Structure 1
């Protein structure tokens, strides 16, 4: 970052260059992401509160914390635009109001803490969902290892690295004191790599479970799509990493950092949205059941309660404990019919019986919200 101004260099700057401003782009992205994550979180709460059969502890702890963290990141960048001069060239503020620059750098430092929290909490939520689904011991072990890596990555990069990248810590925004900073661009690049690696791990973890799952191919594909949404943050993580591979923009962070910083905001919010989508399946299922067309079945025979076999449902099928050997039957009972006038004889009872063995195992059973 430039610390002094060369008068000759200043004279070569055109008014058009100094007038360049990207603050509206920052503002629009922040407004859009604030609205989107708020709507998604409201739908998430509705889904879990009114439609889900079971809610884990993370639904009322980690998810609210993740949402607040996302909104906090948006607030920081709102302040970066309104109070920190984000969007204009650094040299513009060095000429007109140098006091703005430390404000921006402080807000940027605070955003680095929240960014890592924003990308870590949703991954923890997704992995907890996996642990609730997976039954194979070795898959659960690998899942727990990935969980440990995510948490360790947050502590190492999201807390320790941010605190020690500049010594003393205040030198990051106050260049009037003695100090030095490590290569900030490399620190940002290396931050993205662990995120990409853990995203890939989260993406491939469900495959062994889905391969062995004893459901129809269509339902298996639907479950895969549901779990796949939890890894869509991989796309934004790669885009952000590619942007950080470009030449150093830290010499003009308030202007040249426009695209990578906005990608970072999008990435953080994408993780939260993706972590909510699998948990919104109960809401989607409830809406589908409410609005799907219902097929009306007509039964020409009288199948009132007085004709139902004991222990049977309205269709004559035996109900009760699903374990062991069972006798199931389908009955058609005599009643009024128009064909009587034509001389057709209708039997009093037609009953088909078959004894079947039901072997139910909870192995590889998914939570009801997933199926």
Structure 2
């Protein structure tokens, strides 16, 4: 008999399904490697661009840059722990996992869970620190503190529960893990929504060209994509509640978690990349420069040599002779006006059309294409002027 037929899985295989203890990589494990590799590469590129922009273009590196870097390191650590757990059944069907592998599997699963708690939290902290730096308004800062405390509080609480009462190594209550996982997904969605909504009052108050508004909208739409991914993940997490094949379903749910955490880092980096785009990809912002506003009032003459224009049309006018008070007997239209003849005396009536156009502009600062999103928000709203 072969070694594979002598081994027993952690759960019985479905009827007609052969056991596989060969150690070959499953399709789900392969997808996990590919998706993580692609997304980590993308998040690494955007993090590099962010740090380059902050260090060499803006020449200001803030706490939020260090925090988002920690989040990126967490993404790499997440990938590494997932791959290490392949050996013990992560991404395999439970009937192909040896019962002796469940303890090391559970230990590494704790690492996966804790990383998933804190990676999105760090990304949110990075954005909250940015919001705090560019806005001095008391109301918005109060909300920033409130959301930050909420994120830290539930992240710490979930970590404590996961390594304590719901520890998969010391406790065999699978329902506790599934319920905690579901709660974690829901609270992540709620706080994602709060972090996305926080800058909306600031953006609403900005005087921006249409292109800049579109670009900012795209950035924050990407943030909402993270929330959508989290919602889709709940579907897979919900399957864990009734599916005993935990080693496979948890890995399937982690595919969406991988997308969620890496796209979160990418979104956090995009917020500060506008100076980089202006320097190296100026054509992206080119058409806004053609329609820039200017502050103040301006008067424009339609004629190059003055504000008056002699009309090309002539009109027959009745003229009253100043001496007799009688209407002129003869009127002749001339090229430059109307020549009125009245009893031997002549007078010229010149018709002119004068254009005087005054354009009033808001006295607020006009933002250039090269201004960063941070500069725009910091300058215009924000000192508490953003309204709810």
Q: TM-score, normalised to structure 1's length?
A: 0.68
Residue number in structure 2 paired with 1:258: 251
Q: 164, 169, 172: which one pairs with 1:173?
A: 169
Pairing of 1:333-352 with structure 2 (within 5 A): none
Mapped to 1, the partners of 2:200 and 2:14 lie a distance apart of 61
Equivalent residues of 1:89, 1:252 under 8 A apart: yes
Mapped to 2, the partners of 1:211 and 1:53 lie a distance apart of 28
Q: 58, 75, 78: which one pairs with 1:73?
A: 78
Q: Cα–Cα, structure 1 residues 12 and 6, in superposed 2: closer, same or farther, change >3 Å?
A: farther
Query: Within the alignment, does 1:91 sit opposite 2:99 as a pair?
Result: no
Cα shift at 1:24: 1.5
Q: 205, 216, 219: which one pairs with 1:212?
A: 205
Pairing of 1:178-193 with structure 2 (within 5 A): 180=173, 183-193=176-186
Q: Secondary structure at the match of 2:281?
A: helix
Cα shift at 1:76: 0.5
Q: Cα–Cα, structure 1 residues 6 and 12, in superposed 2: closer, same or farther, change >3 Å?
A: farther
Cα shift at 1:266: 1.8
Mapped to 2, the partners of 1:130 and 1:7 lie a distance apart of 49
Q: Cα–Cα, structure 1 residues 125 and 13, in superposed 2: closer, same or farther, change >3 Å?
A: same
CA displacement, residues 44-96 of structure 1 (integer Å, 9 cap, x when unaligned)? 2222222225332221x212211111110011011122x223232222223xx
Equivalent residues of 1:165, 1:181 under 8 A apart: no
Mapped to 2, the partners of 1:105 and 1:282 lie a distance apart of 45
Residue number in structure 1 paired with 2:230: 237
Greater CA deviation, 265-274 or 49-58?
49-58
Pairing of 1:188-207 with structure 2 (within 5 A): 188-207=181-200
Equivalent residues of 2:21, 2:97 under 8 A apart: no
Residue number in structure 2 paired with 1:270: 263
CA displacement, residues 324-352 of structure 1 (integer Å, 9 cap, x when unaligned)? 9xxxxxxx9xxxxxxxxxxxxxxxxxxxx
Structure 2: runs of 5 or more not aligned:
1-7, 288-294, 297-303, 305-357, 367-371, 380-388
Q: 4, 10, 15: which one pairs with 2:18?
A: 15
Residue number in structure 1 paired with 2:164: 164
Q: 262, 269, 280: which one pairs with 1:287?
A: 280
Mapped to 2, the partners of 1:290 and 1:241 lie a distance apart of 40
Cα shift at 1:182: 5.2
Structure 1: runs of 5 or more not aligned:
295-321, 325-331, 333-353
Q: Secondary structure at the match of 1:279?
A: coil
CA displacement, residues 213-251 of structure 1 (integer Å, 9 cap, x when unaligned)? 233444334333334434431121111112222353662
Residue number in structure 1 paired with 2:355: none
Mapped to 1, the partners of 2:376 and 2:96 lie a distance apart of 55
Q: TM-score, normalised to structure 2's length?
A: 0.66
Mapped to 2, the partners of 1:191 and 1:173 lie a distance apart of 20
Residue number in structure 2 paired with 1:118: 119
Greater CA deviation, 243-252 or 143-152?
243-252
Mapped to 2, the partners of 1:222 and 1:253 lie a distance apart of 42
Residue number in structure 2 paired with 1:138: 139
